[in-house]
A and B are shown apart, each in its own frame.
Chain A
Amino acid sequence: MYDFPPGLYTDVRVEKVFETKIDFLQEDLKECRIREHEAAFIRVFDGKRWYYTSTTDPGRIQEEIDALAALAGTTGARGTVAGHPVVEKFPVSTGEYLQFTAGKSIASIPKEEKIRLLTDYFPVLSGVPPVKLWRAFYRDKREQKEFYSSKGSRLIFDIQHTGLVFGFELARGKKRFSESFQKTGSYFSELQGEKENLENFLMQCTEFLNHARPVKPGKYTVVLAPLPAGIFAHESFGHKSEADFMMGDENAMKEWAIGKKVGAEILSIVDDGSRPGTGYVPFDDEGTPAQATYLVRNGILTGRLHSVATAAALGEEPTGNARAVGFPYEPIVRMTTTFILPGNKSKEELIGEVKEGILVERVQHGSGLSAFTMAPSLAYRIKNGKIADPLNISVITGDVFTTLAEIDGLSDRLELFSFVLGGCGKMEQFPLPVGFGGPYVRVRNLVVQ
């Protein structure tokens, strides 16, 4: 296949991509773009440093390998790579794992059919008076990846996702509200039949626009619906589980020792690349197969997310989390589908036990450094165990570790979510498709503004 230079570790990732982007602004078609390309990312490791390049011309891959090898030869420690712990950790993966071919590929669906899928929903959107502006989006992407390494990996696999999104801005008098509705899947057929759900969601948003009042700032017990719970898992703990952040810092490794108590006993968090959805990656971009990694089990730190390099540095095993956002970029440690495991209460029990609190159903975004934050869109007061009036909230915050310990209830049903617009950002690599979710999660003492 390729002539890999001796004395160095080399791998090549070839990406064959088909993707569709269709945008409507109200009834006007604004974009219908189909992109198809084949490109490659090439890495060489000389035992000291990595050298990367990419090419949009598959015929030049060998030339690029040779150029990187020459660069490594002049600045690195060529000849020492055999037996290097990083190289030793690389799995040798072989085989063909193609699921989305022929009629199952979104490339087989004509663009006219994809446009029609969107336009069938338009009467729903244009019939709601407070909706002043709306947009409709269709996205799909099929990636066929090939991975070849100087250790002997010869791997072909594919991933695919598709989805539609309706974004809308509502206004009545001086009141404003914006939200979006989306449906995603691995196959085009999964996007049908959402009209009733869209109608119901628009009604909920209209009610919210009409009746929402500013929250009285303070500390509250907050029940997070599965979507915000997933964002919380991703932002507040998932990123901290990415092992690259502790590289080279022995104190951090001690602080993050496996076995440490990090949250309430009912809390378990998992990252799993084998779950269907936008976080699905049967193999990562270093050829490591997907697996379920328990980050937290019963409140105890039990695992973290690795690339080959971080696993070698920490004396652990790769977890299938080395991912690149596209062919110009190197794989770095990323999440796949991250979620909180369910508990044993019904949703009704969880809310029914709250005298005065807040239910957060949807959020615009979240973050999770030492403090986690969440900017709710749809949120409601809980009064005497019942969901009451809608609330406008700027931000909900809490110290991450205090908050993890304040979780005192989980509902009994797991919901996972996928997204075709946006994604996870890390370094310059954005947006990476990920999934997340959880049950309803009840947390005490969150600061609400």
Chain B
Amino acid sequence: MVTEKYLFKTREITLNVQDTAVVSVRRQKLSQTGLRVYANGRIGVAGALGVCDEGELAARARENLSLNILYPCEPSTGFMELDSRRGEMIPEEDFLAEVEEFLSELRRAQPDFSFSHQIKEEWSERRLVNDKGLDLKAQDEYISFTLLFREKGSLNIYDGVVGYAGKRYDRAEVLKLVNRVCTAYKNPVELKKAGTRPVVFLERNPTLGKLAKELNGQSFGTGSSLLTKKRGKKVFSSRFSLFQSLHPEDTYGPFFDAEGVVNDGFRYPLIKDGAVLCPYTDKTTAAKYNLPLTGSAVGSYDEVPKLGCRRLKIASSGRTVKELLGGEEGILIVMAEGGDFTPAGDYATPVQLAFAFDGEEFLGRLPQLKISGNLFTMFGKGFRGLSTDKPTPLGGDHFLVLDLKVEKL
């Protein structure tokens, strides 16, 4: 019998913002402990919040072996510790005062807008350790500004969203980003030309959700994925490569998955030069369908690890967004909610807020649009690339440029 302990510790300070002022301060400190036992190809799990009796947890986990939850895989082994904190956030004791200063400057700079939502800092530690020799520990931190903005008098709940999440803070840079967005918003422009146009997303956007669905190892293995029979075949652009990533530069959180799998360089290639290499898998899925193990198990502290999608990261094209636009005017998607893919991969969505974009400046607010395309063409001949640059030098997502059909709504 192998016993494994999964520890979550989180500390955060959250400021709720309403009408560009802090209305509440929330401090949280949470610890969660999970105990897993593995025996005879089965797993038992138990968990608790806060201070707990680990002996009692282990007893409950052993009792849960009787549920016969099959786990025909070996627990992981190995040692690694990674501290991804950079110490470039706002010190906790200064957080409220600094955010009040930031909002004060924002009120002066953008008197026609009301900002709301949340500004937060979070520190986390996650550890997975077992009596077979596994000991993984990850520490991380991030600061996030998520500001919904509304032009005063607007009938909408919000007119747009501007934000930044990363491991660095610089008041001037965050203000610069918000001001760029608000300035563009106040300048309505027409859509110069409908038809197939370069559409610019931030990297994490709904189109990746469809890839995540189709690259799910279970769907792949059972034959319900559109990519099931495409393994080893080139179905996307030769410029398109995709990784599953827990690299600290790509995401926040631990570098290991819920089963303690650590990939070389923290990334695993799923699509290379347009060819489907494999779906993402956890240990059970990899074994069941004879697929490579990609380390994509998820699960809360007190759950059986299961297959889930981690961060999907597109390989950089090595060019700036301006170069990817190639002199054309792009459509920068700021807010596109409510659309979806059909089962066959056809995509359509309304775009509530988009800016005309030359690769350097946000030129103005476009009318409401609808965009459409197909999974295999948008990441096929319509894939221009992932930029080297980002909306703010502080960090966050890169730009993704895809050719899609664009029309006025």
Which A positions have Cβ atoms within 8 angstroms of B?
21, 23, 25, 28-33, 35, 37, 39, 49-57, 71, 75, 111, 132-133, 169-171, 174-178, 214, 239-240, 242, 244-245, 247-249, 251-252, 255-256, 328, 330, 364-375, 392-395, 397, 401, 427-428, 447, 449
Contact = CB atoms under 8 A, between A and B. Distances in A.
B28 A248 contact: no
Contacts of A449: 348, 370, 372
B338 interface: yes
A394 B342 CA distance: 5
Contact of A367 (B222, B338, B409): B338
B69 interface: yes
Given A252-B155, A447-B370, 17 more contacts: A31-B69, A52-B26, A56-B50, A75-B96, A245-B150, A245-B158, A248-B114, A330-B24, A365-B340, A369-B158, A369-B335, A370-B368, A371-B368, A375-B339, A392-B346, A397-B350, A449-B372
Interface stretch (B15-23, B133-141, B389-397): B15-23
A52 B25 contact: yes
Contacts of A373: 337-339, 349-350
A370 B159 CA distance: 8
Contacts of A55: 50
Contacts of A75: 96
Interface string B19-42: 101111111101100000000000
A25 B218 contact: yes
A393 B24 contact: no
A198 B119 CA distance: 45
Interface size band for B: 35 or more
A56 B30 contact: yes
Given A51-B24, A245-B158, A369-B156, A37 B340 contact: no
Contacts, number: 183
A106 to B, nearest CB: 18
B49 A133 contact: no
Contacts of A428: 118
Nearest to A332: B16
Contact of A239 (B23, B25, B157, B339): B157
A393 B219 contact: no
A375 B16 CA distance: 31
B341 interface: yes
Contacts of B47: 33, 35
Interface in B92-107: 96
Contacts of A178: 224, 343
Contacts of B346: 214, 392, 394
B172 interface: no
B409 A57 contact: no
Contacts of B68: 29
Contacts of A170: 224
Interface string B223-253: 1101000000000000000000000000000
Interface string B290-332: 0000000000001110100000000000000000000000000
Contacts of A49: 22-25
Contacts of A111: 67
B306 A427 contact: no
Contacts of B19: 247-249
A50 B26 CA distance: 8
Nearest to A253: B153
A175 B22 contact: no
Given A365-B340, A428-B118, A252 B153 contact: yes
B108 to A, nearest CB: 16
Contacts of A395: 338-340, 348-350
Contact of B153 (A251, A330, A368, A447): A251
Contact of A57 (B18, B51, B222): B51
